[in-house]
Amino acid sequence: MARYFGTDGIRKKVGTPPITPLGMTRLGEALWAWLTATVEGTPHIAIGWDTRASSGWIMHALTAPMRAHGARIDLLGEASTPELARYTRTSEAMLGIMITASHNPATDNGVKLFDGAGFKLPGDAQTWIESLMGELTDSAFIPGDPYQVNLVEWGEPDLAPYGLEAGTLEGLHIVLDAAHGGGAPRAGAVLKAFGATVTSIGVEPNGVNINDGLGATHTDTLAAKVVELGAYAGLALDGDADRGIMVDETGAEVDGDQLIALLATVMQEEGRLTGGGVVATVMSNLGLERYLSERGLTLQRTGVGDKLVVEAMRAGGYNLGGEQSGHIVLLDHTTTGDGLLAGLHALAIAKADGRKFSEISRVFEPVPQKLVNVSFEGESPMRTEAVQDAMLAVANRLGADGRVLVRESGTEPLIRIMVEALDTDALKAGLDELEAAVRSALA
């Protein structure tokens, strides 16, 4: 079982191993050892970080061994995860490192790792790196040539990676919520470069306010601002901007499932959708699956995490996939979830359509779905017989008209309980039964 790597890289509370100076230095040594064993030439590494106060010292601790060994390191500064992934690929770096805890609060931080093609490292590579973290010691340090550090200068937005024409969003007033995160420095400029009128919130990071009441997991403020200003729509990014959740002109939330459905519909109509469908996770709504099926498209489900989504997309020849939470992957344009990219393409569709955003973004009727999170310490209650029996009982009662998913979070010490069902009474009863079973197992 992995000690440090979870669903999406490493993510822990700051001060909890390995998010400590020693832990990050050990990770830097492990990454150097992994790189020198798997690539030829002087390792070239790209590294970016979000706006957390801890990101600075993590960058220094993580890169210190690599610098000492003679790596070439490009520092992107405060950036989004999609920007880091794109830069890694286009700069021919061998490894991309993003320091972020994504949508988690400012007290957490972590590391996401990308290969030279801009894709997240597979599980076997992470397992190897983690094993090296335990084996390496200070005595294994071998000085190298003087290090090279290049601070990347960001100029005017490059619109080419987004696959849209300049002026595409002319006439649209968009409210952007950058969550005081990695998208804050440049996301608004990109929207403006495509012609949108932009009102921005969440663009004043101070090191501790990332994701604090704003962003893709807290859209109330964005919704209120969109309604107040009479804007066409709003786009909320998370801390590292690989998620994007939208709101329409009424303030209603448009989640990742609806965005996937919208994009799939248009891409299918234009003959641009590959793989015969899309890839999404076990969290995506049953309504999305039924809608796609009516259009002759498949929905391939994976475990939670856009890394797993991308792996399935690449294996199956799909170019669209994502998560209900707002990770949307347009593989023709990027290699990872990109909230800004997905938002731009959704808005481009809306502008060409000409109707209100509320009229085109409600693509399918979701099956009622409820989520409950239960925190835990120590051994997971998922391993108890009572919880397993409750899951089976509820699933059997719902049958084909519902779904049950109970899982451990890969990023936080939580049990996530999801139930969806056409019968809302059955949904509530099933959710209550499962929550009670989990809490009883923790007592």
Q: What is the pLDDT of residue 401?
A: 87
Q: What is the mean pLDDT of residues 371-387?
A: 88
Position 143 pLDDT exceeds 70: no
Torsion angles phi and psi, residue 289, rounded to 5: -60, -45
Q: CA–CA distance from 18 to each of 9, 15, 58, 97, 103 (Å)?
A: 12, 8, 11, 15, 19
pLDDT tens-digit map of 361-377: 999 999 999 999 999 88
pLDDT tens-digit map of 5-53: 998 999 999 988 889 888 999 999 999 999 999 988 889 999 999 999 9
Q: What is the mean pLDDT of residues 138-153?
A: 64
- Catalytic positions, please? 102
Q: What is the pLDDT of residue 136?
A: 42
Q: What is the mean pLDDT of residues 256-266?
A: 98
Q: What is the mean pLDDT of residues 179-200?
A: 98
Q: What is the mean pLDDT of residues 223-235?
A: 98
Omega cis (within 30) before 185: no
Q: What is the pLDDT of residue 1?
A: 63
Query: Would you place residue 240 in the very low, low, confident or very high pLDDT band (cuts 50, 70, 90)?
Result: very high
Q: CA–CA distance from 205 to each of 27, 59, 106, 212, 420 (Å)?
A: 27, 18, 11, 10, 37
Q: How far apart are alpha carbons 268 and 351 in whole angstroms? A: 18
Q: What is the pLDDT of residue 308?
A: 95
How many whole angstroms from its chain centre is CA 376? 24
Q: What is the pLDDT of residue 141?
A: 43
Q: CA–CA distance from 325 to each of 208, 255, 264, 314, 363 (Å)?
A: 23, 7, 17, 21, 17
Q: What angle do CA 251, 255, 259 make, to 5 degrees?
A: 110
Q: What is the pLDDT of residue 408?
A: 87
Q: What is the pLDDT of residue 146?
A: 60
- Quote the tokens at residue 216: 């893709």
pLDDT, the chain, mean: 93
pLDDT tens-digit map of 78-123: 999 999 999 999 999 999 999 999 999 999 999 999 999 999 999 9
- Quote the tokens at residue 129: 């790196």
Q: What is the dihedral sign for C-alpha 331, 333, 337, 339?
A: negative
pLDDT tens-digit map of 413-434: 899 999 999 999 999 999 999 9
Q: What is the pLDDT of residue 403?
A: 92
Domains of the chain, earliest start first = 5-151 (3.40.120.10), 169-252 (3.40.120.10), 254-338+355-361 (3.40.120.10), 369-442 (3.30.310.50)
Q: What is the pLDDT of residue 412?
A: 81
Q: What angle do CA 396, 401, 402 make, to 5 degrees?
A: 65
Question: Closest Cα partner for 55 from 8, 14, 116?
Answer: 14
Which helix (H) or strand (E) is 279 found in, with range?
strand 277-281
Query: Would you place residue 230 in the very low, low, confident or very high pLDDT band (cuts 50, 70, 90)?
Result: very high
pLDDT tens-digit map of 273-295: 999 999 999 999 999 999 999 99
Percent of the chain with pLDDT over 90: 83
Q: What is the pLDDT of residue 430?
A: 94
pLDDT tens-digit map of 319-335: 999 999 999 999 999 99
Look at 146 and 9; give whichever has higher pLDDT.
Answer: 9
Position 340 pLDDT exceeds 90: yes
